[in-house]
Every structure is written in structure tokens, then in C-alpha cells.
């Protein structure tokens, strides 16, 4: 499973990639508005391909941003789990050493399957 750092790195990479894809989209706009073709059998084909490319670039950038947001949430969940696990280790050490009374401290639970400490 990825750790907090790996999720954060992936989110940053996706955001940079989304920016690059948006730049491609923006570069296509002036070309789409004037391909230099005025008539002929290829005008419709080229226009359709340009429209599809612009749409795909926009959708790809939006999806990359969405997934980056998901990775940010997962990174925070990993960070929370790491803290909870450290606290559990401290509590367990106290309990084993006799500095804490009561039942044995339980490990943190309730975290999603993709959460990894670190």
C-alpha cells in the first residue's frame, strides 16, 4: 500500500500533469479556430478530430485533478493512522512496563484497506 508521502507525491504529479494537459488544450484552441483548411473532403474530419482532442484533454485534466483530491484525502488518512499507531505503541510500551493499568491497549482500527503507516 502507498504511504502518506507516496500519496502526496502522486497527487502533486497528477496536478502537474493536469496543468500540462490543460496547456495542450489551450494550444489547440487557436489551431481549431483556424486550421488553414477552408474546403475539401478533410475539413470535417480535421474539425472533428480537433474537437475530440480538445474534449479529451479537458476531461483528462479534470479527472487528474479529481484523483489528486482523492489522493490528498488518502494521504491524510495515512498520516492519521501513523499517529494513531505511534500512540498505540507508546500506550502498549507503558502498559507492558507497568506504567499503565487496565486492559491491554488495542491497535487502531476503522481505517480503510488502503491505509498504510509511514
Each residue's pLDDT tens digit, 78-94: 999 999 999 999 999 99
Tell me the domain boundaries of the chain.
Answer: 4-96
Q: Is the pTM for the entire model greater than 0.85?
A: no
Q: What is the pLDDT of residue 47?
A: 86
- What are the C-alpha distances in Å from 8 to residues 39, 57, 61? 50, 23, 18
Each residue's pLDDT tens digit, 38-55: 778 888 888 888 899 999
Neighbours of 78 (CB within 10 A): 25
Mean pLDDT of the chain: 91
Amino acid at each position: 500500500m502507498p504511504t502518506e508521502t507516496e500519496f502526496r507525491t502522486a497527487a502533486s504529479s497528477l496536478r502537474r500533469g493536469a496543468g500540462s494537459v490543460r496547456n495542450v488544450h489551450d494550444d489547440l484552441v487557436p489551431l481549431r479556430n483556424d486550421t488553414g483548411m477552408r474546403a475539401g473532403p478533410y475539413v470535417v474530419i480535421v474539425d472533428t478530430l480537433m474537437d475530440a482532442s480538445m474534449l479529451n484533454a479537458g476531461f483528462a485534466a479534470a479527472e487528474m485533478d479529481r484523483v489528486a483530491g482523492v489522493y490528498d484525502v488518502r494521504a491524510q488518512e495515512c498520516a492519521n493512522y501513523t499517529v494513531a499507531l505511534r500512540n498505540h505503541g507508546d500506550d502498549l510500551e507503558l502498559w507492558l512496563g507497568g506504567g499503565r493499568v487496565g486492559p491491554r491497549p488495542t491497535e487502531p482500527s476503522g481505517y480503510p484497506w488502503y491505509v498504510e503507516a509511514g
